[in-house]
Amino acid sequence: MVAPINFVSRWCLFPWRSVSLGCQRFHQTQAPGKETHFGFQTVPEEEKGERVYHVFESVAKKYDIMNDSMSLGIHRLWKDWLVRHMNPTPGTQLLDVAGGTGDVAFRFINYIRAQREKLNRNKLDHQQNLSWSDITRSYSQEQQGLLMGSKAVICDINKEMLKVGKERSLRLGYSEGLSWVAGDAEELPFADEKFDVYTIAFGIRNVTHVEKALEEAYRVLKPGGRFLCLEFSHVNNPILARLYDLYSFQVIPVLGEVIAGDWKSYQYLVESIRRFPPQEEYKEMIEDAGFFKVTYRNLTSGVVAVHSGFKL
């Protein structure tokens, strides 16, 4: 088990902190008065959403630059990996929940564009011998536009994050195939069985009731649809875990202060990572929500993990 190592190493690093994690389960442990965690603090359940909202409202404008600085750009590789693993085909309808400034959705669009290019190249190679069905297919693909009917809906509870994302999408030339919707992961504003893929990247640990968000993911997916979650997780190498703790607690809040003028939000970020359940426990929660074939893959020794499940 990695979690106790993390806890012990954190305690060794910060023995003066009065953090009482040892006797609690990691996920959504709620005291009788319906309390939950906000980083290492215990807060009434109804306060968490508001506090999380303020964190992302405050960091929105510097969110992307902070991501690059904190992770030395590695978050890009993790997100690339997520979309490659998804391997979406033309026509895929994606819902990216807690989608923030659009990183996952933009990669999805790039992937579909690359698929289309590949198809076009193949078509050119065989142009000499086009059959009637090839011509019909190519005509209908043109009618469906550059993305061949694929769409990504970015849903996030935070209007500031969505605003930054929308501006960014215009600047980067992603006009087609994207829509931005304000909504809560726990109560998605979408009909049942609407999407082929549901993604949530670095979002689920911020949600007050993870179980509710998972149920909603299940509800909006079509039968056969896929759930994919990229989230910070628990490092499985003790030496790396120690270094990672040092970096997280000693460097990240400082970067937050220097770059974004916001120590507290980045302190919350590193604390919330420690409070998220370990890989196996989270896998069980996804299964409990009804998903089948649930697996996970650790990236960077478990600094992050990608969990995957299917709605059958």
Ligand X SMILES: C[S@@+](CC[C@H](N)C(=O)[O-])C[C@H]1O[C@@H](n2cnc3c(N)ncnc32)[C@H](O)[C@@H]1O
Select from 21, 66, 92, 100 the one that contacts ligand X (CB under 6 A): 100
Select from 158, 169, 267, 279 the one that contacts ligand X (CB under 6 A): 158
For position 256 contacting ligand X by CB under 6 A, the verdict is no
For the CB of residue 56, give the shortest distance to ligand X in the complex, in Å.
4
For the CB of residue 209, give the shortest distance to ligand X in the complex, in Å.
9
For position 86 contacting ligand X by CB under 6 A, the verdict is no
Instruction: Select the residue whose beta carbon is closest to ligand X and give its number.
Output: 100
Select from 202, 218, 244, 249 the one that contacts ligand X (CB under 6 A): 202
For position 201 contacting ligand X by CB under 6 A, the verdict is yes
For position 203 contacting ligand X by CB under 6 A, the verdict is yes
Number of residues that bind ligand X (CB under 6 A): 20
For the CB of residue 145, give the shortest distance to ligand X in the complex, in Å.
25
Residues 105, 110, 115: CA angle, nearest 5 degrees: 125
How far is residue 97's CA from residue 185's CA, in Å, rounded to a whole number? 6
Beta bridge partners of residue 308, listed in sequence order: 228, 295
- Complex with ligand X: residue 148 or 207, whichever CB lies closer: 207
For the CB of residue 148, give the shortest distance to ligand X in the complex, in Å.
25
For position 252 contacting ligand X by CB under 6 A, the verdict is no
Select from 161, 178, 273, 304 the one that contacts ligand X (CB under 6 A): 161
For the CB of residue 184, give the shortest distance to ligand X in the complex, in Å.
5
Per-residue binding letters, 32-61, with ligand X (x by CB under 6 A): --------------------x---x-----
For position 185 contacting ligand X by CB under 6 A, the verdict is yes
For the CB of residue 96, give the shortest distance to ligand X in the complex, in Å.
7
In the complex, the residues that contact ligand X under the rule CB under 6 A are 52, 56, 97-100, 103-104, 156-158, 161, 184-186, 201-203, 206-207
